[in-house]
């Protein structure tokens, strides 16, 4: 009999004067005093001693492999040990106990300690910029985690714009996957930067002032015609009789400012009366990229031949360009 047991009456342990086959384990006598109601098991000596029942010597930090830090120190044992503390195999990972408290619904995985600490559950220590290779800037700062991390947060996500914004691509992939060539993280629709000079159609003259939508009728910005006539066919007052290569005469600075030297830019030099002839007198039919017009006198002047072909079709042997009536016969 030691300590507090010395003060106990015999009948407290030997009811009805029974002195044989008396149990010696603490729990056999103190079951009715167990305020844990069996949840801590029957090994009372692990925490209590014979000197004083209310003082316990159990150290969770030393006697288990799970030291109690932060908020865990203030918890009642029953908060974790709902059943028998010795028979119950409790996990030592956060998620083992806090699965029901997981407002992320498992999307961020089971490594709670990566973001949360034991001092306060609502204080997050995770630094996206330091702990990942994807710093959150601009509009990304305001985006909720679940917008990008729809499943397990530890699942590997692509770090390129197109990996997340594929469904937001109004260009339907026709401008490639390098979104940051035009857009930035501050705003998807504002401050769009794009150097048209790096394309196969640099914007010169009045083209630089034209709104994008005037040439690009759809947001995929693809399949836009680069030839002048492709966009300006309706503006062609020549009805394509001078071909489709508008740049031979016009330039982007002003549609009305044009220049064409028939003598140097064509194979038919305009001399004499030909200088005063209207363009459409020779250019009658619509042409494509190559402009073809008759260069032989008789092709144009067959109706003017008063000889009715009796002198052949080489008008230039007698006539000159200064006037049809001016004759200079040569063999």
What are the pLDDT digits (tens) for 45-60? 888 888 887 777 778 8
Q: What is the pLDDT of residue 280?
A: 92
Q: What is the pLDDT of residue 244?
A: 93
Q: What is the pLDDT of residue 54?
A: 77
How high does pLDDT run on average in the chain?
84
b vs e for 245-268, b when ≥16 Cβ sit within 10 Å of the residue's Cβ?
bbeeebebeeeeeeeeeeeeeeee
150 CB contacts (<8 Å, ≥6 apart)? 107
Residue-wise pLDDT tens digits, 248-266:
999 999 888 899 999 999 9
Of 321, 328, 327, the residue nearest 300 (C-alpha): 321
Q: What is the pLDDT of residue 88?
A: 63
180: pLDDT strictly greater than 70: yes
Give the other-Cβ count within 10 Å of 242's Cβ. 20
Largest CA distance in the chain: 164
CB of 116 closer than 8 Å to CB of 153: no
Quick one: CA dihedral 215, 221, 222, 226, positive or negative? positive
Site of tokens 């220590």? 125
Q: Which two tokens stand for residue 199?
A: 């394309």
First to last CA, the chain: 155
Q: How many whole angstroms separate alpha carbon 160 and alpha carbon 188?
A: 15
The pair phi, psi for residue 161, each rounded to 5°, is: -50, -45
Q: How many whole angstroms separate alpha carbon 69 and alpha carbon 259?
A: 87
154: pLDDT strictly greater than 80: no
Q: What is the pLDDT of residue 331?
A: 55
Q: How many whole angstroms separate alpha carbon 5 and alpha carbon 3?
A: 5
Residue-wise pLDDT tens digits, 115-132:
888 888 778 877 888 888
Q: What is the mean pLDDT of residues 293-303?
A: 88
| pLDDT more than 70, % of the chain | 97
303: pLDDT strictly greater than 60: yes
Q: Which two tokens stand for residue 15?
A: 């009811």
CA 281 to chain CA centroid, Å, is 59
**Residue 300: band (very low, low, confident or very high) from pLDDT cuts 50, 70, 90:** confident
b vs e for 145-184, b when ≥16 Cβ sit within 10 Å of the residue's Cβ?
eeeebeeebeeeeeeebeebeeeebeeeeebeeebeeebb
Written as one string, the DSSP assignment of 247-296 is GGTEETTEEEEE---HHHHSSS---GGGGGS-HHHH--S---SS-----S
16: pLDDT strictly greater than 70: yes
List the beta bridge partners of residue 251: 254
Q: What is the mean pLDDT of residues 232-261?
A: 91
86: pLDDT strictly greater than 90: no
Q: How many whole angstroms separate alpha carbon 24 and alpha carbon 28?
A: 7
Give the other-Cβ count within 10 Å of 108's Cβ. 21
In terms of C-beta density within 10 A (0-12 exposed, 13-18 middle, 19 or more buried), how is residue 44 classed?
Answer: buried
Q: How many whole angstroms separate alpha carbon 53 and alpha carbon 330?
A: 143
Q: What is the pLDDT of residue 205?
A: 92
CA atoms within 13 A on the CB side of 145: 17
Q: What is the pLDDT of residue 269?
A: 92
143: pLDDT strictly greater than 90: no
Q: What is the mean pLDDT of residues 79-87?
A: 72
87: pLDDT strictly greater than 60: no
Q: What is the mean pLDDT of residues 313-328?
A: 84
41 CB contacts (<8 Å, ≥6 apart)? 84, 85, 86, 87
Q: Which two tokens stand for residue 53?
A: 């029942």
């Amino acid at each position: 009999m030691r300590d507090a047991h010395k003060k106990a009456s015999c009948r407290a342990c030997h009811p009805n004067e029974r002195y044989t086959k008396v149990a010696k384990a603490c729990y056999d006598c103190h079951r009715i005093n167990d305020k844990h109601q069996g949840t801590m098991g029957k090994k009372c000596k692990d925490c209590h001693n014979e000197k004083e029942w209310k003082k316990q010597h159990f150290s969770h930090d030393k006697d288990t492999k799970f030291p109690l830090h932060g908020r865990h120190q203030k918890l009642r044992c029953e908060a974790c040990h709902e059943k028998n503390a010795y028979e119950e195999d409790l996990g030592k990972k956060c998620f083992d106990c806090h699965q029901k408290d997981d407002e992320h619904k498992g999307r961020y995985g089971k490594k709670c300690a990566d973001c949360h600490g034991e001092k306060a559950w609502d204080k997050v220590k995770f630094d996206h910029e330091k702990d990942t290779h994807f710093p959150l800037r601009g509009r990304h700062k305001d985006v909720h985690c679940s917008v990008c991390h729809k499943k397990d947060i530890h699942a590997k996500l692509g770090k390129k714009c197109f990996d997340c914004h594929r469904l937001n691509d109004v260009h339907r992939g026709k401008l490639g996957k390098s979104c940051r060539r035009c857009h930035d993280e501050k705003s998807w629709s504002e401050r769009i930067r794009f150097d048209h000079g790096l394309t196969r159609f640099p914007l010169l003259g009045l083209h630089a002032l034209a709104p994008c939508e005037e040439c690009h009728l759809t947001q995929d910005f693809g399949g836009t015609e680069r030839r002048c006539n492709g966009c300006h066919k309706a503006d062609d007052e020549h009805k394509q009789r001078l071909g489709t290569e508008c740049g031979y005469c016009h330039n982007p600075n002003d549609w009305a400012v044009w220049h064409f030297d028939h003598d140097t830019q064509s194979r038919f030099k305009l001399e004499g009366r030909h200088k005063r002839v209207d363009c459409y007198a020779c250019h009658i039919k619509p042409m494509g990229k190559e402009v073809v017009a008759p260069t032989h006198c008789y092709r144009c002047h067959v109706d003017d031949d008063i000889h009715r072909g009796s002198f052949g079709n080489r008008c230039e042997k007698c006539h000159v360009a200064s006037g049809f009536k001016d004759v200079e016969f040569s063999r």
